C-alpha cells in the first residue's frame, strides 16, 4: 500500500454557494476556511475522510462530469434535493433505478431510493473510465482493498484504506477524458515523497511550493489527485 485515502475535493465558481448546497444535501457542517474556499464536515463538525473541500477556481465547468457521487435518499422521491436547488435531469427507467440530477453548478450526481439498513448520504464515488478493471486494480494497489466487478463492466475498489464509503467505482464509458475533473480525491502518502506513486505509473503534474505542501499527480487515465506527506504521528 502506497497511500491512504484522505478526502474529496470539488472545484467551484462559488465555493460558498456550492458548499452550502452540498452541506444541506449531506446534512453536514459548512466551514468557511477563510481563503475563499469552504469545507463540508460530517455532522458534528470534525474533519474526517468524509469531509469535502470546495475550492474556488477561475475556470467554468465544461464537458461531462467524469467523477460523481451516488447518494442514498431518506425519502422515496428526491423532493428535498430539488427544494435545495438540484435540477432533475432524468427519472428512473425500466433499466435504471436512480434519478440523475445536477447541483447548482451543473455537476451531475445520482440519487437512489431508500433501502433497509442503508443510511442516507453518499455510498459510492463513481469515476468514468476507459478500462475500469485496470483503473480499479491500479488504485487498489495504491490504497489497498480488493477489486469487485459487475456484469455491466464496472469495477470497484472495496475496503481501501480510510475510504469512508462503500464503493469506489470505475464505470465504463466510450469517451476519453479531455478536461480537468471538477471532483478529485486526495491521498496521504505512506512514504516521504511520491517516488513509489510515480514508479507505479502516476504522472507528476506539480511539485509542492512555498504555499502548498502537496504534490499534484494524475493516475493512468489522467484523473488528477493530490498527495500529501504523512501526518506527523504516522
User: For residue range 143-199, what is the model confidence (pLDDT) as tens digits?
Assistant: 999 999 999 999 999 999 999 999 999 999 999 999 999 999 999 999 999 999 999
CB 103 within 8 A of CB 22: yes
Q: pLDDT at position 151, please?
A: 94
CB count within 10 Å of CB 231 equals: 10
Say whether 199 sits in a helix, a strand or coil.
Answer: helix
The grid coordinates of residue 207 equal 511539485
Mean of the pLDDT values across residues 89-113?
A: 96
Whole-number percent of the chain with pLDDT over 90: 91
This prediction's pTM: 0.95
CB 102 within 8 A of CB 82: no
Q: pLDDT at position 83, please?
A: 97
Mean pLDDT of all residues in the chain?
Answer: 95
pLDDT tops 60 at residue 234: no
The grid coordinates of residue 213 equal 505542501
Q: Supply the DSSP string of 131-146, one letter for each residue.
A: SHHHHHHHHHHHH--E
CB 112 within 8 A of CB 97: yes
Say whether 25 sits in a helix, a strand or coil.
Answer: helix
pLDDT tens for 107-159 read 999 999 999 988 999 999 999 999 999 999 999 999 999 999 999 999 999 99
pLDDT tens for 25-37 read 999 999 999 999 9
Kindly provide the residue ranges of all beta strands, DSSP E only, lying in the chain, ordered along the sequence: 3-12, 29-32, 38-41, 52-56, 67-72, 87-90, 98-102, 108-112, 121-129, 146-149, 155-158, 167-172, 183-189, 203-206, 215-218, 224-228
Mean of the pLDDT values across residues 42-60?
A: 93
Looking at per-residue confidence, does 180 or 63 come out higher? 180
Angle at CA 184, nearest 5°, toward 22 and 45?
A: 40
CB 66 within 8 A of CB 177: yes
As a whole number of angstroms, the distance between CA 62 and CA 181 comes to 9
CATH superfamily ID and name for 3-228: 2,3-Dihydroxybiphenyl 1,2-Dioxygenase, domain 1 (3.10.180.10)
Among candidates 84, 36, 79, which has minimal Cα distance to 56?
36
Looking at per-residue confidence, does 86 or 234 come out higher? 86
CB 112 within 8 A of CB 72: yes
CB 183 within 8 A of CB 68: yes
Whole-number percent of the chain with pLDDT over 70: 99
Q: pLDDT at position 233, please?
A: 62
Q: pLDDT at position 45, please?
A: 79
pLDDT tops 60 at residue 21: yes
Amino acid at each position: 500500500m502506497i497511500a491512504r485515502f484522505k478526502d474529496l475535493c470539488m472545484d467551484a465558481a462559488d465555493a460558498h454557494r456550492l458548499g452550502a448546497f452540498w452541506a444541506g444535501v449531506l446534512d453536514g457542517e459548512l466551514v468557511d476556511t477563510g481563503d475563499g474556499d469552504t469545507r463540508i464536515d460530517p455532522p458534528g463538525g470534525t474533519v474526517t475522510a468524509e469531509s469535502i473541500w470546495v475550492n474556488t477556481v477561475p475556470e467554468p465547468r465544461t464537458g461531462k462530469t467524469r467523477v460523481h457521487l451516488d447518494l442514498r435518499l431518506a425519502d422515496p422521491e428526491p423532493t428535498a434535493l430539488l427544494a435545495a436547488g438540484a435540477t432533475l435531469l432524468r427519472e428512473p427507467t425500466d433499466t435504471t433505478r436512480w434519478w440523475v440530477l445536477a447541483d447548482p453548478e451543473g455537476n451531475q450526481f445520482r440519487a437512489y431510493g431508500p433501502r433497509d439498513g442503508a443510511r442516507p448520504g453518499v455510498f459510492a464515488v463513481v469515476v468514468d473510465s476507459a478500462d475500469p478493471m485496470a483503473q480499479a486494480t491500479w488504485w487498489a494497489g495504491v490504497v489497498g482493498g480488493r477489486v469487485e466487478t459487475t456484469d455491466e463492466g464496472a469495477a470497484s475498489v472495496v475496503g481501501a484504506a480510510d475510504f469512508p464509503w462503500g464503493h469506489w467505482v470505475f464505470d465504463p464509458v466510450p469517451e476519453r477524458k479531455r478536461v480537468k475533473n471538477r471532483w478529485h480525491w486526495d491521498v496521504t502518502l505512506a512514504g516521504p515523497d511520491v517516488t513509489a506513486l510515480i514508479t507505479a505509473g502516476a504522472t507528476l503534474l506539480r511539485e509542492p511550493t512555498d504555499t502548498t505542501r502537496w504534490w499534484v499527480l494524475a493516475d493512468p487515465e489522467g484523473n488528477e489527485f493530490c498527495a500529501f506527506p504523512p501526518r506527523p504521528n504516522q
